[in-house]
Structure 1
Amino acid sequence: MRIWSSQSISDKFMRMTMLVSGVALLLAYVSFLVYDLYSLRQELISSMATEANIVGANSVTALLFDDKQAAESTLLALRNAPQVRSALILRPDGSEFARYLRSASIPFELTNRLAPDETQRYWTKGRYILLGSRIRFQGGQVGTVYLVAETGDVARRAERFGLISAGMLIICFAIALFATSAFRHLVTDPLTGLAETAQIVTRKRDYSVRAKIPPNSDDLSFLVQSFNEMLEQIQARDRALEATRSDLERRVEERTAELSATNKELEAFSYSVAHDLRGPLQHINNIGFLLQNSSEGLNEEGRMLVDRLHEGARRMSGLIEDLLNLSRASSHPLHRTLIDLSHIAEVTAGRLQADNCGRQVCFIAAKGAHIFADDGLMQVVLDNLLGNAWKYTSKMESAEIEFGYTEEEFGTVYFVRDNGAGYNPRYADRLFRPFQRLHSQSEFTGTGVGLATAYRIISRHGGKIWAQGNVDQGATFFFTVPDTET
């Protein structure tokens, strides 16, 4: 099959035509040869039957009068039948009456005999045919004649016929070869041109090429013309797509530039506002401190107002810090080093425990969580995730917080799990949006910026962050960081 697969359409067509023609001519040659052999053989048997009938008719008198010499004279007439090699006449009792041998070197062995109810029959043995025939006179049997003929003449005639047929076969094959060579281009050239054009289109993506249309109006011309029309349609669509793609790329670049500039302005604005608010907020805290420690003292209502002032300043300070972290998450340059997340988680948990010494929280941190990432930014991620877990387990009698990691097919997945208040999965898409909160301030205080900051930091590292949880069933926050030193 390799020969066929490596040839061109023209060569394949040529080989196929020669194969079909050769098989057809060969089958015709074999059929005629077999038929000729059969016909010559049947002709020989028919001739032997005629000779046996003649010998039998001429031997009736000799058999009736037991004239052996006359019978032998009758058999000598078989010399005019060169295919007959020997003959034998038997009496009715089966004894030999007369014999004929064309050559003394050829023995006559009667290996087969007619059955009592048989009138005539022949047997084949090698290249000889034995024919037996009853000699009858006035309805009775007076003897039997057997003739032996050689099929050598038949074989020689068949050989001559085979040579002649073989010569005709070669001539016919040569004519078919010439005719195929002369006319194959009418069929294969358009197909070859079509294949070459298709190859150019496939390799170079050049839809401007066209296949040559054959001069005659036939199915091949219609095929090539349809192929060219298809290329024209594809070329027109390709031009339209290219124009649309160029316009889309231009718009995307413009919009990206606008968004980038806007984001930079917003980040600069957020950082500037948050930074500039620190001074006035510090003045407010100082005034509150002076009022709270005034020598004249405050009444109960004044102390309540000062406490509210301190609480508002504290919340404002937290919001400013969260805004600064959110701004740093987008603008802070990455400095990747090998860091120990397990150690950072333990330190963060210790700080949370120290700030809230009245709470008992079961904290578990898996050892050996090492990644290449920005130390400061990953500190912010764990501060937010562990801080959230600490906050949302505050109403649990037995609070549990766990930091760990698992090895998956796509890499290492780190997680922070708690058994706290959880969240409604219907609103999971709002978890990582800035200033989006799923709990009220009366339930749990917060600014809604921490998870958005963690999302930006993980995204800048090329990783992903997601969550799983349910109401009153705790929550688990997962994140990945690609394992790279770059």
Structure 2
Amino acid sequence: MRIWSSQSISDKFMRMTILVSGVALLLAYLSFLVYDLYSLRQELISSMATEANIMGANTITALLFDDKQAAENTLSALRNAPQVRSAMILRPDGSEFARYLRTTSIQFELTNRLAPGETQRYWTQGRYILLGSRIWFQGGQVGTVYLVAETGDVARRAGRFGLISAGMLIICFAIALLATSAVRHLVTDPLTGLAKTAQIVTRERDYSVRAKIPPSSDELSFLVQSFNEMLEQIQARDRALEATRSDLERRVEERTAELSAANKELEAFSYSVAHDLRGPLQHINNIGFLLHHSSEGLNQDGRMLINRLLEGASRMSGLIDDLLNLSRASSHPLHRTLIDLSHIADAIASRLQADSKGRDVRFVIAKGARIFADDGLMQVVLDNLLGNAWKYTSRLESAEIEFGYIEEESGTVYFVRDNGAGFNPRYADRLFRPFQRLHSQSEFTGTGVGLATAYRIITRHGGKIWAKGNVDQGATFFFTAPYTEA
């Protein structure tokens, strides 16, 4: 099979034709040879039956008058039939009456005889045929004649016929080869050209080439023409795709330039707003502080208004800081280095516990959490995630916050888990949107910008961030980033 698979179509076509023609001619030769042998053998048996009938008719008188010499003289006429080697005439009781031997060296032994009721029959004995025939006179049996003939002449005649047939076989086979060699180019040349064209298209991606269409109007011509039409369609689509791609690249460049300009304007606006707001906000905060410390003459309502003023100024200051962080998360250039997230988490946990105001919070920080990322931005991520966990466990008597990581086939997954207020999983998609909060300001204070900032930072690192949780059952925030190192 490997020999056939490694050949060209032309060679396969030639070999297949040789095989089919050779097998067909050989089967025809064998069929004619077998038929000739059978015909010659049947002709010999028919000739023997005729001789037996003649001998029987000519020896009736001798049998009736018991004239053995006359019967032997009649049998001697068989010398004109060279295929007959011996003959014998038996009386009705089965005893020998007369015999004929072509040569004295021939032995005549009747190993087979006609059964009662049989008129004529023959037997094959090696290269000899024995034929027996009853002799009848006026409705009664007067004897039986047996002839033995040699089949050597049949074999010789069959051999001569075989030689002649073999010669004809060779001539026919040679004619078939010549015809195949002359015709195969009409079939294989279009297929070979089609295969070469397909190879050029596959390797060079050149859809401008065309296969040569054969002059005939058969299936091969239709196949090659259809292939060329397919190449024309692919070439037209390729040109259309190239034009569309060029136009799309131009549009993308224009849109990228517009977005870049918009981002720069937004960044400038964010810094300008933050800078312009901080001054007046600081004045408001200072005035509120002075009023708060000189409020002996104020009634309770006045002191409550001053406290609200200070709280509002504090929230405004936090919102400005969060907006600046959100802006930096999108515009700050990435400087990836190998950093220790466990060390950053420890530092944040220590800072939070220093301001715990008597809270019972247990931190579990896994060691060896390393990541190849921007140090400053990852500090913002952990500060927001751990800060959220600290905030949403504030109503628990005993809180637990965990930072760890999981090694998976796709990479390292980092997580921050707490046993705090949790959230409704139906609204998990709103967690990372700016200014979207799942808890009211009266329950837990916040601006709704921290998780959006973490989302932008992780996205810029090419990673993902998601959350799992339930109401009053805590929450777990997961995030990944490419190019992690163990």
TM over 0.5: yes
Deviates most, 172-181 or 221-230:
221-230
Structure 1 residue 75, shift from structure 2 partner: 2.3
Q: 1:317 is matched with which residue?
A: 317
Deviation at 1:118, TM superposition (A): 1.4
Q: Are 2:133 and 1:133 aligned? A: yes
| Alpha-carbon distance between aligned partners in 2 of 1:318 and 1:140, rounded to the nearest angstrom | 143
Deviations 1:134-173 (A, max 9, x none): 2222222222222222222111111111111111111112
Deviation at 1:43, TM superposition (A): 0.8
Q: C-alpha separation between the residues in 2 aligned to 1:396 and 1:225?
A: 80
Shift of 1:466: 1.3
TM-superposed CA distance for 1:251, in Å, is 0.7
Counterparts of 2:278 and 2:110 in 1: how far apart (Å)? 137
Superimposed CA distance per residue, residues 41-60 of structure 1 (whole angstroms, 9 cap, x where no aligned partner) = 11111111111212222222
Aligned to 2:301: 301
The 2-side partners of 1:334 and 1:401 are apart by 29
Amino acid of the structure 1 residue aligned with 2:300: E
1:284 to 2:284 alignment:
yes
Q: Secondary structure at the match of 1:322?
A: helix
Which shifted more, 283-292 or 45-54? Answer: 283-292
CA distance in 2, matches of 1:411, 1:404: 14
Q: Which residues of structure 1 form unaligned runs of 5+?
A: none
In 2, Cα distance between the equivalents of 1:343 and 1:425? Answer: 31
Structure 1 pair 295–117 and aligned structure 2 pair: CA distance change class (3 A): closer
Q: Describe the shift of the 1:452–1:104 C-alpha distance in structure 2 as closer, same or farther (beyond 3 A).
A: farther
Structure 1 residue 248: Cα displacement: 0.6
Is 1:269 aligned to residue 269 of structure 2?
Answer: yes
Say if 2:425 is the partner of 1:420: no
Query: Which residue of the partner structure matches residue 28 of structure 1?
Result: 28
> How do residues 90-105 of structure 1 correspond to structure 2 at under 5 angstroms?
90-105=90-105
Whether the aligned pair in 2 keeps the contact of 1:292 and 1:298 (CA below 8 Å) is no
Displacement of 1:83 in angstroms is: 1.6
**Cα distance in 2, alignment partners of residues 401 and 296 from structure 1:** 43
Q: How many residues align?
A: 486
Query: How much has 1:472 moved relative to structure 2?
Result: 4.1
Equivalent pair of 2:190/2:213 in contact (CA under 8 Å): yes
User: Distance in 1 between the 2:480 and 2:110 partners?
Assistant: 104
Summarize the alignment of residues 61-460 of structure 1 with structure 2, pairs less than 5 Å apart: 61-275=61-275, 277-294=277-294, 298-396=298-396, 399-460=399-460
Deviations 1:355-411 (A, max 9, x none): 233433454444443333333332222221122222223345554433333333312
- Checking the alignment, whether the CA contact within 8 Å between 1:88 and 1:99 is kept in structure 2 is yes
Which residue pairs with 2:469 in the alignment? 469
155-164 or 257-266: which moved more? Answer: 257-266
Aligned-partner SS, 1:434: coil
Q: 1:267 to 1:85 in 2, by over 3 A?
A: farther
Q: Distance in 1 between matches of 2:397 and 2:360?
A: 9
Determine helix, strand or coil for the equivalent of 1:478.
Answer: strand
AA partner of residue 392 (structure 1):
Y
Q: Does the Cα contact within 8 Å between 2:130 and 2:146 map onto a contact in 1?
A: yes
1:11 is matched with 11
* Equivalent residue, structure 1, for 2:482: 482
Task: State the Cα distance separating 1:311 from its structure 2 match.
Answer: 1.0
Aligned partner letter, 1:130? L
Is contact 2:295-2:303 (8 Å) kept? no
Displacement of 1:300: 2.7
Q: Helix, strand or coil: the match of 2:100?
A: strand
CA distance in 2, matches of 1:103, 1:316: 143
Structure 2 portions without partners, runs of 5+ = none
Alignment partner of 1:314: what SS?
Answer: helix
Asked whether the 8 Å contact 1:381–1:453 carries over to 2, the reply is: yes
Residues 275 and 320, structure 1, Cα contact 8 Å, conserved in 2: no
Structure 1 residue 247 displacement after superposition: 0.4
Paired residue type of 2:127: R
Distance in structure 1 (CA, Å) of the matches to 2:296 and 2:469: 53
Indicate if the aligned counterparts of 2:329 and 2:377 stay in contact, CA closer than 8 A. Answer: yes
CA separation in 1, counterparts of 2:102 and 2:357? 138
Q: CA deviation at 1:338?
A: 4.0
Query: Aligned with 1:44: secondary structure?
Result: helix
Q: CA deviation at 1:258?
A: 1.9
Three-state SS of the structure 2 residue aligned to 1:468 is strand
Q: Which amino acid aligns with 1:206?
A: D
Q: Given that residues 9 and 192 in structure 2 are in contact (C-alpha distance below 8 angstroms), is that contact kept between their aligned partners in structure 1? A: yes
CA shift in 2, pair 1:254/1:90, >3 Å: same
Sort the Cα spacing of 1:335 and 1:105 in 2 relative to 1 into closer, same or farther, 3 A. farther
Matches of 2:51 and 2:178 in 1, distance apart?
51
Q: CA RMSD in A?
A: 2.7
Q: Distance in 2 between matches of 1:232 and 1:340?
A: 59
Q: Which moved more, 1:356-365 or 1:236-245?
A: 356-365
2:162 aligned counterpart, secondary structure:
helix
Partner secondary structure for residue 112 of structure 2: coil
Inter-partner Cα distance in structure 2 for 1:470 and 1:108: 116
Counterpart of 1:77, as a letter, is A
Q: State the Cα distance separating 1:467 from its structure 2 match.
A: 1.8
Q: Is the 8 A contact 1:337 1:485 kept in 2?
A: no
Q: 1:295 to 1:142 in 2, by over 3 A?
A: closer
Is the 8 Å Cα contact of residues 416 and 476 (structure 2) preserved in structure 1? yes
- Structure 1 counterpart of 2:449, which letter? V
Q: How far apart, CA to CA, are the structure 2 residues paired with 1:450 and 1:276?
A: 22
- Structure 2 counterpart SS, 1:141: strand
Structure 1 counterpart of 2:52:
52
Secondary structure of 2:208's aligned partner: coil
Q: Compared with structure 1, are the counterparts of its residues 149 and 398 closer, same or farther at alpha carbon in structure 2 (3 Å cutoff)?
A: farther
The whole-number CA distance in structure 2 between the counterparts of 1:140 and 1:291 is: 164
- Percent identical across equivalent pairs? 89
Name whichever of 351-360 and 124-133 sits farther off. Answer: 351-360
Deviations 1:249-281 (A, max 9, x none): 111122122212322332343244335544443
Query: What CA deviation, in whole Å up to 9, does each residue of 1:427-458 have, x standing for no partner?
Result: 33332222222333223221111112211222
Whichever residue aligns with residue 417 of structure 1, its letter is R
Normalised to the residue count of structure 2, the TM-score between the two structures is 0.91
1 CA distance for matches of 2:130 and 2:336? Answer: 108
Cα distance change of structure 1 residues 265 and 107 upon mapping to structure 2, 3 Å threshold = farther
- Contact map agreement 1:392 1:444 (CA 8 A) in 2: yes
TM-score (norm 1): 0.91
Q: CA deviation at 1:39?
A: 0.9
